[in-house]
Every structure is written in C-alpha cells, then in structure tokens.
Amino acid sequence: MALFAAEKGDVHHITTYLKGLRDFLWKNLNTPDKRRVLTIVIRVIKGWINYHGISDNQRRVGQFIYQSKRVLYRWFNRKGGRRGLTWEKLTLILKVLGYPSSWKVHSMFNSC
C-alpha cells in the first residue's frame, strides 16, 4: 500500500497523460499553425507539473517532462526517412516557447 499519492498510481497517470498528448497531436497532425499547438501542449504540461510537483515526486515529474518532449520529437519527425528536426533544435524551440525544464517543488509537509 502506498503511503503517499505520489508513490504509486502516478505511473498510470503519466501514461494516461502521454496517451492524451499523443492523441491531441495526432488530431492536429496537419495543422499549419504548429506554434499554437505547441503553446496549448506547453500549457497543459505546466498544469500537470503544477499539480504533481510535490516534494516526494521529483523523479516522476522529471520523467514526465522528458517523455512528453519525446512525444513532441516524434510528432515533428513523423515522416519516415528524413529527419527534419534534431533533438537539439527541438530543445531550443521549446526553450524559446517556455517549455518547462524545472519546476517549483511544493512541500507535502507544510508546517503550521
């Protein structure tokens, strides 16, 4: 039995969010305005981090940031054979758009 909500069950929550992210990107596969799609995705990811960024959940939040970035990388490079975007270019684009690389940790044990 898990002592904290951050310990167990979060893996399923992460995979559910990543699946939702993939579904959203798939529905917007041929969108000409990729910047708008990215700003929506970044807003959702920041919201997830704000909710789950507690003191005992740092590893999972880091995993979520990395895995969501991988989903975006695959979305940009979905055409076989030719890789149009390198990991470094994607990281630079996401940094310019405000993709979270760190987060504020909220303590689960607030002292009153």
Q: What is the mean pLDDT of each run of 10 residues along the chain (112 residues)?
A: 43 84 92 92 89 77 91 86 84 92 66 56
User: Are 67 and 21 in contact, with CB atoms under 8 Å apart?
Assistant: no
Domain of 30, in residue numbers = 14-97
Assigned domain for 4 exists: no
Q: CA distances (Å), 15 to each of 5, 9, 11, 51, in order?
A: 16, 10, 6, 16
Assigned domain for 38 exists: yes
Q: Report which DSSP code applies to 99.
A: -
Assigned domain for 108 exists: no
What pLDDT is stored for residue 94 in this prediction? 93
Q: Report which DSSP code applies to 105.
A: P
Domain count of the fold of the chain: 1
Assigned domain for 67 exists: yes
Assigned domain for 32 exists: yes
Assigned domain for 105 exists: no
Assigned domain for 34 exists: yes
